[in-house]
Amino acid sequence: MREAFHEQLDAIFLDLAAICAQVESQVRLATQALMTGDAAVAEQVISTDIEIDQARERVEDNAFELLSLQQPVARDLRTIVAGLRIVSELERMGDLSVHVAKIARLRVPDVAVPAEVQPTMQRMAEVAEAMVVRVHKVLNERDVDAALSLREADEEMDQLRRRNFSELLGDDWPHGVEAAVDLALLGRYYERIADHAVSVANRVVFVVTGENPAAADV
């Protein structure tokens, strides 16, 4: 009976890793749509989001069933509670990718990101996607060291976000308020994807070690 229970616990993390792989694809495609002005790719990101929502519901249903039927304690309880929180974080990352795609679609046939600020925005997108890739590994392997290493990437994202603001607020900004608002929002979306990635990684560390690395920063 307990063996079957632990197989169900492992299945929760397998499902989380599968959702993370979907999020990885969503981030990549949303960036592609943004940088190319491809309306079809933007629509693909927007329409695919429902699959992540449905996957989240399945994980939640399974987790609540385990809570009600097995009454887990200690690490088993941590695993289920963390799984519920992680799936919410992953869904939000998918939602943020949709927000990026919607800005891309809104500006078609133009590209929403002016050429001179594309390097910063492209790097933000690369860092965000790389962090999601690493979170996928963390979920698959429950790798504590890999989870903790995401902080370095998050620091780079924070630096890029500050550069993003500097570009928008410069006296020589030639693209008007509408483009500035778009870029401020896009910067925020990628930054929040990174924040959620770190949060997921911290929750995996908590499952494995019983310690919350975020608490060390308080």
pLDDT digits (tens, 9 = 90+) for 1-21: 567 777 888 899 999 999 999
∠36-42-43 over CA atoms, to 5°? 145
pLDDT of residue 67: 84
pLDDT of residue 42: 98
CATH code for the structural domain at 2-213: 1.20.58.220
Per-domain residue ranges of the chain: 2-213
Predicted TM-score (pTM) above 0.85:
yes
Written as six digits, the tokens of 55 are 């996957």
pLDDT of residue 218: 41
Q: How confident is the model at residue 102 (pLDDT cuts 50, 70, 90)?
A: very high
Residue 53 has pLDDT above 80, yes or no: yes
Q: Of 149, 148, 133, which Cα lies nearest the Cα of 208?
A: 148
Q: Distances from the Cα of 111 to the Cαs of 45, 54, 103, in angstroms?
A: 17, 31, 10
Q: Distances from the Cα of 73 to the Cαs of 81, 191, 202, 209, in angstroms?
A: 11, 35, 20, 15
